[in-house]
């Protein structure tokens, strides 16, 4: 089977068919930005987009992604290397501490801004509630989402 990851066609080998999307991304495609943490859909560290929707990749059998399009944190920067406004806002605000949860946080934030370009605190807290951060970076995440929202509106 095949799928598209960050715009690139990818082939899934026969003997990976029983693995999860997260395992295939990390172990076979070398895309280690999506993290394995709880493994049971409870933390958001493994969050990617499938066909534009945020999904916990630790729960998704690779077979279910046949012929679909996956976006991971590695696919967010532009081709010239410039960071996505969310990544830049995260960097400017020094959001990460240990960093383990942060790719999932950014991917969830992206999904939020794609459906709601001007979220208030309640919208953000609701959208981000499934993404846990043991380092407690929630205030800086909220501020960075607002910063990125302004930039994304400016650049269209």
Residue ranges binding ligand FES (CB under 6 A): 36-39, 41-46, 56, 58, 96-102, 133-135, 137
Minimum CB separation from ligand FES for residue 30, in Å? 18
Minimum CB separation from ligand FES for residue 154, in Å? 28
Collapsing DSSP to helix, strand or coil, 25 comes out as: helix
Q: What are the DSSP calls for 6-58, one per residue?
A: TTEEEE--GGGTTSBHHHIIIIIS--TTSPPSSSSSSS-TTEEEETTEEEEGG
Nearer to ligand FES, 39 or 69 (CB): 39
Nearer to ligand FES, 9 or 127 (CB): 127
Partnered with residue 61 across adjacent β-strands are 20
Nearer to ligand FES, 18 or 156 (CB): 18
């Amino acid at each position: 089977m095949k799928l598209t990851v960050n715009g690139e066609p990818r082939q899934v080998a026969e003997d990976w068919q029983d693995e999860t999307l997260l395992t295939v991304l990390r172990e076979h495609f070398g895309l280690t930005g999506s993290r394995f943490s709880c493994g049971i859909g409870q933390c958001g560290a493994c969050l990617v987009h499938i066909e534009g929707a945020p999904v916990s990749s630790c729960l998704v059998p690779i077979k279910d992604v046949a012929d679909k399009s996956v976006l991971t944190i590695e696919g967010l920067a532009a081709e010239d290397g410039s960071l996505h406004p969310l990544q830049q806002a995260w960097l400017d605000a020094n959001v990460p501490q240990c960093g383990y949860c942060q790719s999932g946080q950014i991917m969830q934030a992206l999904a939020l801004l794609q459906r709601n370009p001007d979220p208030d605190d309640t919208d953000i807290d609701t959208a981000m509630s499934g993404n846990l951060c043991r380092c407690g970076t929630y205030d800086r995440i909220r501020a960075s989402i607002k910063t990125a929202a302004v930039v994304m509106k400016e650049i269209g």
